[in-house]
Amino acid sequence: MKALVYTGTEHLEFRDEPKPEAAHGESLVKIISAGICGSDMHAWHGHDARRVPPMILGHELAGVVETGPLQSQRVAINPMVTCMSCDDCRAGNPNLCQQRDLLGLLRAGGYAEYAVAPDRNLIPIPDTLSFEHAALMEPLAVSLHAVRLVERVLTRPISEANVAILGGGAIGLLAALVLHQKGVRELHIAETSTTRLELLRSMNFANCYDPRSSSPGEGRMHVVFDAVGSGITRQTASQLVRQGGVISHIGLQDNEPGLDVRRITLQEITVLGNYTYNDQDCTAALDLLDRQALGDYPWLECRPLSVGPQSFRDIDQGIAPPKIILLP
């Protein structure tokens, strides 16, 4: 089969690889669409020791089951593989499982014509939902999970909140679209890529700005979502959030200092870590996508898997849209 293989720092090869074989309890899936995630970029930059080359990355996946209980069915793949028996898994929090794994992390992912996934990780999708949009289930589930955790601790309805999102990539944009649907009264998106900023502004649903030259105002935001996760964005989040507000930390770009811990303490600011999703988030994401509740997708671009290496370079150079879907 053809596959896009991560072979070293900032290097991918489109080449022939052995077709995988499904073990007991697993299904073989013909991959139709596979999204590029920020964590895949992190690996490509050589910043993720867990992803060891040579490796097939990719975990935002949809396709058709070739062998397994759901044979011939159209599915989205929940890429998180957990033990299903620990206290966290049994409590409905598999994202906290200490044995968690992910397709494209320690096991082969879906930048290929075929991938193997546990039977229980396959979610049938309706015929009304395209494969390209079904591949958005995973990043949308991340955003929904982050919004849900914020709503759990926020002292007012989120529709009444001033919200800033740092980062206009897929996770930040999808979180913004979810918040817009919820009627958030004041919504800001910070983005430094000129390409993405122009596209976000053309969607005309939020105040989109370059944080290097402007700001929605320090100490005004009830909620700040950091969808980048760098030292500078943590510093910015600490400045933007108001007293008693919430910082939702989603991104994993680096581990540099940046949070103003003194201000967080004195102003009783809540800081939430957000990691992936649970089954409820995945189901809710597919429902939103199937109902087209988040509008059109001018921010999504589909490309052949064979141009994957150039797509990674385009994202790195800031000249790509918020989401690229690769099509094996």
Tokens (6 digits) for 109: 């992912």
Output the pLDDT for position 277: 97
Q: Count of domains in the chain?
A: 2
Regarding whether 176 and 114 lie in a shared domain, the answer is no
**Residue 280 within any structural domain of the chain:** no
Q: Domain range holding 125?
A: 2-135+297-327
Helix (H) or strand (E) holding 301: strand 300-304
**Residue 278 within any structural domain of the chain:** no
Regarding whether 118 and 28 lie in a shared domain, the answer is yes
Distances (CA, A) of 47 to 42, 44, 51, 113, 114: 6, 7, 9, 26, 26
Output the pLDDT for position 94: 96
Regarding whether 43 and 107 lie in a shared domain, the answer is yes
At residue 235, what are phi and psi to the nearest 5 degrees?
Answer: -65, -45
Regarding whether 158 and 130 lie in a shared domain, the answer is no
Tokens (6 digits) for 165: 């999102």
| 3-class secondary-structure state, position 141 | helix
Residues of the chain with pLDDT under 50: none
| Helix segments in the chain, DSSP class H | 38-44, 87-90, 131-134, 137-153, 170-181, 194-203, 231-240, 261-266, 279-290, 308-316
Is the preceding peptide bond at 54 cis, omega within 30 degrees of 0? yes
User: Where residue 13 sits, what CATH number does that domain have?
Assistant: 3.90.180.10
User: Where residue 162 sits, what CATH number does that domain have?
Assistant: 3.40.50.720
Regarding whether 320 and 239 lie in a shared domain, the answer is no
**Residue 285 within any structural domain of the chain:** no
Q: How far apart are CA 141 and CA 171, in angstroms?
A: 9
Tokens (6 digits) for 300: 């999504």
Regarding whether 218 and 311 lie in a shared domain, the answer is no
Regarding whether 128 and 16 lie in a shared domain, the answer is yes
Output the pLDDT for position 10: 97
Regarding whether 154 and 124 lie in a shared domain, the answer is no
**Residue 306 within any structural domain of the chain:** yes
Q: Where do we find the tokens 């935001």?
A: 221
Distance, CA of 194 to chain centre:
21
Output the pLDDT for position 30: 98
Q: Where do we find the tokens 């992936």?
A: 276
**Residue 145 within any structural domain of the chain:** yes
| pLDDT tens, residue by residue, 126-170 | 999 999 999 999 999 999 999 999 999 999 999 999 999 999 999
| 3-class secondary-structure state, position 282 | helix
**Residue 189 within any structural domain of the chain:** yes
The DSSP line for 60-106 is: EEEEEEEESTTTT-EEEE--EE--S-SHHHHTT-GGG-TT-EEBTTT
**Residue 304 within any structural domain of the chain:** yes
Regarding whether 229 and 112 lie in a shared domain, the answer is no
Strand partners, 124: 75
Regarding whether 131 and 18 lie in a shared domain, the answer is yes
User: What count of Cα atoms within 13 Å lies in the side-chain half-sphere of residue 175?
Assistant: 36
Q: How far apart are CA 266 and CA 94, in angstroms?
A: 34
Output the pLDDT for position 153: 97
Q: What angle do CA 261, 46, 302 make, to 5 degrees?
A: 100
Q: How far apart are CA 180 and CA 250, in angstroms?
A: 19
Distant-in-sequence, close-in-space partners of 195: CB < 8 Å, separation ≥ 6: 318, 319, 320, 321
Regarding whether 248 and 157 lie in a shared domain, the answer is yes
Regarding whether 215 and 126 lie in a shared domain, the answer is no
